[in-house]
Amino acid sequence: MKWTIDPGRKRRSINFIDNICYSRTADKTGAPLDLHLSLMVQNGNSEMRLAEGRDDEVAEGRQPLLLWINGAGWSGCDKNLMTAEMQFLAEAGYAVAFPYYRSRTQAPFPAQIIDCKTALRFLRANADAYGIDPKRVGVIGRSAGGHLAAWMAMNTDEFHSEEWAGQPDTVCAAVDLFGAVDIRTLNEMTLEDYKKPVPRRRPFADTPCAALVGGDPATVLERSDAASPIFSANEAMAPILILHGDQDPLVPLSMSEDFYDRIAAAGFEDRADLVIVKNGGHGTREFFQAETKQLILDFFDRHLRRE
């Protein structure tokens, strides 16, 4: 059997570029550490470029950039863990970057937010190479990544490294998926839970939020506030969409409600939306349904594609 089809060229090709080194830093012992990111982007016929030095896809302008930040308790998970679920953003014409950032065991806070901001400056510095619009930049993250996305949304003038200096690391919009935005409260919850007689449990200092802050466990609560974006709403903050499940067993819904209330109390309620996800747990499938993804896409379109 032989036949001809005419599928057209409406959908653009998505390329996945892996292991791009964006930072040469060090862990808490001073050992050198290279940090990498991957990038999912509609940037033409990459195979044709490599094979023939030319491209048969006509460029359609620069794409807005989204930084996806993984969670997993700041444990240093695979940077590409959620790329499949984030492909909908690339399909919609966003360049989506996936940075690895230093884990809580490699370095305490603020290393994680420093790395995320460094990744953003790197991408702005290399915007021409990747077809990125450096003026239209957003961030999205889940759980621990939601904590970092919320920090980036605040656009505070702190947590900078010297790498790629001269490039801004501010964002225009942010999505916080059930972020751990109040480190003190989470440490208090863990300490309360540790009053129960459970054998063979790891030391409190090794639990995610305590290890993130680092230092003497006896003073961890006093130092936790400085790692919490919940207290940092300010005039420079970007619009933020917060999604949180009403059945979350790890980060309580009340944390995102408090975050939203504090933003509103600071006078910036018009820059924040809180969406409560019915039956949503901690990163459960409710957050990756078509309706939820469309909500996220509409938010970014509203803030990054306005004329």
Q: Does residue 172 belong to any structural domain of this protein?
A: yes
C-alpha 274/C-alpha 109 separation (Å) is 26
What proportion of the chain, given as a percentage, has pLDDT over 70? 94
**What was the pLDDT predicted at 32?**
98
Give burial (CB, 10 Å; 0-12/13-18/19+) of 99.
Answer: buried
Q: Does residue 9 belong to any structural domain of this protein?
A: no
pLDDT over threshold 60, residue 307: no
Domain boundary among the residues 227, 256, 285 is at 227
The verdict on 84 and 47 lying in the same domain is yes
C-alpha 14/C-alpha 45 separation (Å) is 9
Tens of pLDDT along 271-292?
Answer: 999 999 999 999 999 999 999 9
Nearest in space to 191 (alpha carbons), one of 217, 230, 225, 228: 217
Total domains in the fold of the chain: 2
Specify the CATH number for the domain of residue 106: 3.40.50.1820
Q: Does residue 2 belong to any structural domain of this protein?
A: no
**What was the pLDDT predicted at 189?**
96
For residue 192, CA distances in Å to 73, 182, 189, 195, 215 come to: 19, 16, 5, 5, 20
Nearest in space to 69 (alpha carbons), one of 141, 175, 18: 141
Q: Which domain holds residue 84?
A: 15-182+229-304
pLDDT band at 58 (very low <50, low <70, confident <90, very high): low
The verdict on 220 and 176 lying in the same domain is no
**What was the pLDDT predicted at 201?**
87
Q: Does residue 37 belong to any structural domain of this protein?
A: yes
pLDDT over threshold 80, residue 60: no
Q: Does residue 198 belong to any structural domain of this protein?
A: yes
The verdict on 65 and 93 lying in the same domain is yes
The verdict on 200 and 67 lying in the same domain is no
The verdict on 68 and 129 lying in the same domain is yes
Q: Does residue 276 belong to any structural domain of this protein?
A: yes
Domain boundary among the residues 174, 207, 227 is at 227
